[in-house]
Amino acid sequence: MTNIAQAASLLAARRRTGITGPLLPDHLRPQDIASALAIQAGVIEQLGEQAGGWKCGLNADPPVIMAPIHAGTIHTAGSCTVWTEAGQVRIEPELAFILGHDLPARNTPYSPAEVDAAVARIHLALELIGSRYDDPASAGYLDNLADGLLNQGMLLGPEIAGDAVETLEIRIRMEEGAEQVLDGKHPNGDPRAPLYWLVEFLRGRGTGLRKGQAVITGSFAGSILVPVEQDIAIRFGERGEIAVRFTSNAG
């Protein structure tokens, strides 16, 4: 078994059980972006999964912010089972672009207009955050890239009317009565900008996006801890609301 396959096997086992562990042994840790992405792909293969979506970001350093979101971890119901930390789960409020047709690999670049035409609809979404490392803050960029950039899934909310926007007030209401209001702003201004980058990055690797995949492109309000076993409502300004009750996978 190659080092890539061994690394993927360890991370895949942690995804199955929800039990975190230390950083990979030094000889298995990714040494560059190519090996980190190969480990990502290996984890999906060993779990028998497919990429139901992608997370991506647009950044100069580090230059590659992208990871597949496993199809089996994409939720649409109001009840969502997650791996938790101390009775809480970390979420990121985002917009998800749903592809209406494939954007396959080809020799010529895709224009923004072509990518826009491939987007069938836009949904409210929550990225579900979770690492396979005991202390992800101590992990390096390549370690986290190999592990899927702290992703444990996505919750797709309702479709929105109109186009993506740069700013959204994020209002989170808990069953117990607590409320949190955040001035949301997309980290890249235009929420579509990372999508355009992702299409070109994948094209350059000889692959692409598929019809039905959901692409999230950055949080409007950072990373937020919310409790499990409570009804929670996350309002995205005037664009709509996600109502959800998170349940611990360990229970």
| pLDDT tens digits, one per residue of 213-238 | 999 999 999 999 999 999 999 999 99
The Cα–Cα gap between 95 and 209 comes to: 17
237: tokens are 């300004």
User: Domain spans of the chain?
Assistant: 50-248
d(CA 24, CA 30): 9
* Whether pLDDT at 251 is above 80: no
Q: What is the CATH number of domain 50-248?
A: 3.90.850.10
CA distances for 37 relative to 32, 40, 64, 147, 223, angstroms: 9, 5, 10, 9, 24
**pLDDT attached to residue 175:** 85
pLDDT at 162: 85
Query: Residue 125 has which token pair?
Result: 């979404």
The pTM assigned to this predicted structure is 0.96
pLDDT 10s digits, 36-71:
999 999 999 999 999 999 999 998 888 999 999 999
